[in-house]
Amino acid sequence: MRTAPTILHLDMDAFFASVEQASKPSLRGKAVVVGGLGPRGVVATCSYEARVFGVHSAMPMGQARRLAPHAAYLVPRFELYRSISEQVMRLLRELSPLVEPLSLDEAFVDLEAGQAARDADSARLAGVKLRADIRTVTGLTGSVGLAASKMLAKIASEEAKPDGLVLIPPGTERAMLEPMTVRTLPGVGPATGDHLRRAGITTVGEIAEAGEDELVRLLGKAHGHALYAMALARDERPVVAERETKSVSVEDTYDVDIHDRVRVGVEVGRLADRCVRRLRASGLSGRTIVLKVRRYDFSTLTRSETLRGPTDDPAVVREAAARLLDSVDTTGGVRLLGVGVSGLADYTQEDLFAQAAGDVSEEPAEEPEAGPVEEQAPSPAERRWPAGHDVRHAELGHGWVQGSGLGRVTVRFETPYSEVGRVRTFPVDDPELAPADPLPLVSPVVRRPGGEPVGPSGGGGSARRVAG
């Protein structure tokens, strides 16, 4: 392990919810919950104000509404979140060539590899500057952990939340870890935690006291050895530069099971088109088309077809997905559908006739490990006016959807740089109201001919920065 705390872990604070608060002045300081809003939706993330009521990520949305009935419930805007994530990742890459993203809002950085830090003092300065740069560029806050290993840097950033910086000086790691709960260590989930608790082990210090042999007996060889090393603050894992994307996929969960076979086919075609758009946006193509179907009884089936060459042609992907659907019985109803492309490449196979005869394989029904909440399609009633999404009125300007139903849509007219806006209600088919692109969270600086900065409205002073 290193002798200096030159591994940095950045974790943006309540990222999706903070973006929504930064873009909507009326929601700042309020409870905000982002996720699927249907009966089967789950919480993607929530603001710290919502967490006071017990709301947390991956919670069923119905439970969240019972805990925090007065919170703002919004449909995710993934494209906006990705664009802001790219701004943050660019700042990290200015620090070092070794940046390991874990998700849209989280990453490790090897400061030593980029010569951004060599000791505790320079590492702290780098962390302070990074947090200031993130606030300047995005208007958001992030928490930073600095330590001599990845495990400890991640623990430090958790201790720093929200909007803080924690540095663990080398030599103090074990003393810091000993009183912490076993759930602090990576890989110790509820089941492992309960197993250790029944054996009388509840803290990291007690793991170290139990000894390696006892942990192997309790948890097995691989897990026991790894957990004992972590309890002793041993972690030699390097920061690995951005890994190649292995697959591109989209999936939708439906509020009501789909029984109509024709509609199932239409939904699969729509998902295939969305998947191809995402594939092309990444400059990729792929050889293997994957269909995922979760049926009414929660059984999940996957089917895949491998083409003779990579493609990004929507017709080819649609046809392959339709062939895979033919092999799945959907009689009892479908609650989730997904289409993905793997075997990625940065070129396409031009001979599309060769794609038609692929090798079809059947994969067992396996549930993936828990991960980020998938992008979900809103119900048909929401599709035009999803709660939280941007709109523009021909006369009243930019706003966002507070809610819709019964043929009406309610809009609050405000921007990231305005005061709290007024609310108006319109018919859902009002010709003067249209979906709009999100505005930047930080207002652009406009300069007078002499170079003096002015705000976006032309008034004097610097551009206003909005913190989430």
Q: How far apart are CA 14 and CA 18, in angstroms?
A: 6
The DSSP line for 239-291 is P---PPP-EEEEEEEEEEEE--HHHHHHHHHHHHHHHHHHHHHTT-EEEEEEE
Write out the residue range of the structural domain in which residue 191 sits: 175-231
| DSSP-H helix ranges across 311-404 | 314-326, 380-383
* Residues 159 and 101 reside in one and the same domain: yes
| 163 annotated among ligand-binding-site residues | no
**pLDDT at residue 379 tops 80:** no
* Residues 283 and 333 reside in one and the same domain: yes
From the CB of residue 329, how many other CB atoms can be counted at a distance below 10 Å? 8
* Residues 154 and 7 reside in one and the same domain: yes
- Model pLDDT for residues 99-116, shown as the tens digit of each residue: 999 888 999 999 999 999
Q: Judge whether 256 lies within some domain.
A: yes
3-class DSSP state of 301: strand
- Model pLDDT for residues 259-290, shown as the tens digit of each residue: 999 999 999 999 999 999 988 888 888 889 99
**pLDDT at residue 72 tops 80:** yes
Confidence of residue 39 (pLDDT cuts 50, 70, 90): confident
**pLDDT at residue 35 tops 50:** yes
Q: Which comes out higher in pLDDT, residue 448 or 74? A: 74
Q: Judge whether 441 lies within some domain.
A: no
Give the CATH number of the domain where residue 268 resides: 3.30.1490.100
Of 128-132, 223-227, 417-421, which gets the smallest average pLDDT? 223-227
What angle do helix axes 221-231 and 212-219 make, rounded to 10 degrees? 140
**pLDDT at residue 122 tops 60:** yes
Looking at the DSSP bridge assignments, the partners of residue 284 are none
- Model pLDDT for residues 172-197, shown as the tens digit of each residue: 999 999 999 999 988 788 888 888 99
* Residues 17 and 124 reside in one and the same domain: yes
Q: Are 272 and 314 in contact (CB under 8 A)?
A: yes
Give the CATH number of the domain where residue 196 resides: 1.10.150.20
Q: Judge whether 146 lies within some domain.
A: yes
Give the CATH number of the domain where residue 408 resides: 2.30.30
**pLDDT at residue 349 tops 80:** no
The whole-number pLDDT of residue 347 equals 60
* Residues 120 and 192 reside in one and the same domain: no
- Model pLDDT for residues 423-448, shown as the tens digit of each residue: 999 999 999 999 999 999 997 754 44
Of 48-62, 279-293, 329-343, 374-388, which gets the smallest average pLDDT? 374-388
Residue finishing a domain among 207, 231, 255: 231
* Residues 414 and 351 reside in one and the same domain: no
Q: Judge whether 358 lies within some domain.
A: yes
Q: Judge whether 50 lies within some domain.
A: yes
* Residues 6 and 133 reside in one and the same domain: yes
The whole-number pLDDT of residue 262 equals 92
Give the CATH number of the domain where residue 45 resides: 3.30.70.270
Q: How far apart are CA 46 and CA 381, in angstroms?
A: 24
Q: Are 289 and 324 in contact (CB under 8 A)?
A: yes
* Residues 427 and 342 reside in one and the same domain: no
Q: Quick one: which of 125, 167, 121 has its CA closest to 144?
A: 167
Looking at the DSSP bridge assignments, the partners of residue 399 are 391
Cα three-residue angle 447-452-456, rounded to 5 degrees: 40
Of the residues 100, 106, 267, 414, only one is catalytic, namely 106
pTM, 2 dp: 0.72
Q: Judge whether 291 lies within some domain.
A: yes
Domain count along the chain: 4
**C-alpha 283, offset from chain centre:** 21
For residues 79-83, average pLDDT: 91
From the CB of residue 306, how many other CB atoms can be counted at a distance below 10 Å? 16
The whole-number pLDDT of residue 167 equals 97
What phi, psi does 278 have (nearest 5°)? -65, -40
Q: How far apart are CA 1 and CA 421, in angstroms?
A: 53
Q: Judge whether 465 lies within some domain.
A: no
The whole-number pLDDT of residue 244 equals 65
Report the first-to-last Cα separation within the chain, whole angstroms. 36
Q: How far apart are CA 15 and CA 142, in angstroms?
A: 9
- Model pLDDT for residues 123-133, shown as the tens digit of each residue: 999 999 999 99
For residues 205-212, average pLDDT: 92
* Residues 11 and 43 reside in one and the same domain: yes
106 is catalytic: yes
The whole-number pLDDT of residue 29 equals 95
Secondary structure letter of residue 372 according to DSSP? S
* Residues 191 and 164 reside in one and the same domain: no
The whole-number pLDDT of residue 190 equals 83
* Residues 307 and 198 reside in one and the same domain: no
Q: How far apart are CA 217 and CA 169, in angstroms?
A: 33
| 430 annotated among ligand-binding-site residues | no
The whole-number pLDDT of residue 242 equals 64
The whole-number pLDDT of residue 176 equals 92
* Residues 388 and 267 reside in one and the same domain: no
